Amino acid sequence: MVSILNNVTAMSASRNLGTSDRGLSRAIERLTTGKKVNRASDDAAGMAAGTSFERDARNAKESVKGFQQTYFAAQASDGYLEEATTQALRLAELEGSGNSTSAEYTAVLAQACSAAQLGGATATTNASTALGSINTQRQTLAGTMATALSNANIQGIKAENNFAQSDTIMGADIGAEMVNLTKYQILMQSGISAIGNANSSSQVVQGLFR
C-alpha cells in the first residue's frame, strides 16, 4: 500500500544511515588514535582497568631511572676507588724500597686518601690499611650496583607487562578497524542510495494525480 502520511521506508533508511555514520566515525577515530577505548561510552570498565595498568606501567618506568642513577653513582665511586687502589699499590712499592718517609710517599698517600674518600672509603696511613679500606668499600659498592641493576630490570619487566595489559584492553585492532572502515563506507553509500529510492515513492503518489 502506498501511503502519503509517513515515508517509513525513508525514515528507516535515514536511521540506519545514522548508525553507519557513527560506525564509520568510530572506525576512523580508532585508526587515528590507535585506541579502541577513547571515551567512557566505548567501555567504561575497560577504560578504568586500562588506565590503571598504564598508571602502574609509567610508575615502574620512572622508578627504573632512580635505580639506574643509584647504579651509576656507585659505579662512579668505584672509579675513584680504582684510582685509590693504584695509588695504594704505589705506596706498597715505596714501602718495599725503604722510601716510606720520602716526599713522594707523602704525596702518594695524600692522593690515595683523597681518591679513597671520594669513593666512600676512609683515610689511611699506609698501603695495607689503605687497600683494606678500599676493598671493603668496593665490596659494598659491588652489592649496591648488583641490587640497583636487578631492581631496574625488575621494574622494567613490570612496566612492560603493565603496558602490554593496558594495550590489550585499550589498543585498537588495526586490521579489524580497517575492515570496519570499508564496511561502513559501503553502508554509507548504500544508505544514501536507499534514502533516494525511498523518497522517490512520493513521486509515484504524485503520478496518480496526473
pLDDT digits (tens, 9 = 90+) for 101-139: 999 999 999 999 999 999 999 989 999 999 999 999 999
3-state secondary structure of 5: coil
42 has pLDDT over 80:
yes
Q: State the pLDDT at residue 58.
A: 96
165 contact partners, CB below 8 Å, separation of at least 6:
53
209 has pLDDT over 60:
no
Predicted confidence band of residue 15 (pLDDT cuts 50, 70, 90): confident
State the average pLDDT over residues 63-69: 97
5 has pLDDT over 70:
no
For 181, the enclosing helix (H) or strand (E) is helix 174-199
> Residue 84: what residue type?
A
Higher pLDDT, 193 or 36: 36
Question: Is 138 exposed, middle or buried (CB count within 10 Å of its CB: 0-12, 13-18, 19+)?
Answer: buried
Predicted confidence band of residue 13 (pLDDT cuts 50, 70, 90): confident
Share of the chain above pLDDT 70, in %: 91
State the chain's mean pLDDT as an integer: 90
63-70 LR contacts (CB < 8 Å, sep 24+): 63/155, 64/152, 64/155, 64/156, 64/159, 67/148, 67/149, 67/151, 67/152, 67/155, 68/148, 68/152, 70/144, 70/148
Question: Positive or negative CA dihedral for 125, 126, 129, 130?
Answer: positive
Worst-scoring range by mean pLDDT, 9-18, 63-72, 144-153, 173-182?
Answer: 9-18
State the average pLDDT over residues 39-65: 94
Check residue 102 and report its DSSP letter.
S
Worst-scoring range by mean pLDDT, 72-76, 77-81, 184-188?
Answer: 184-188
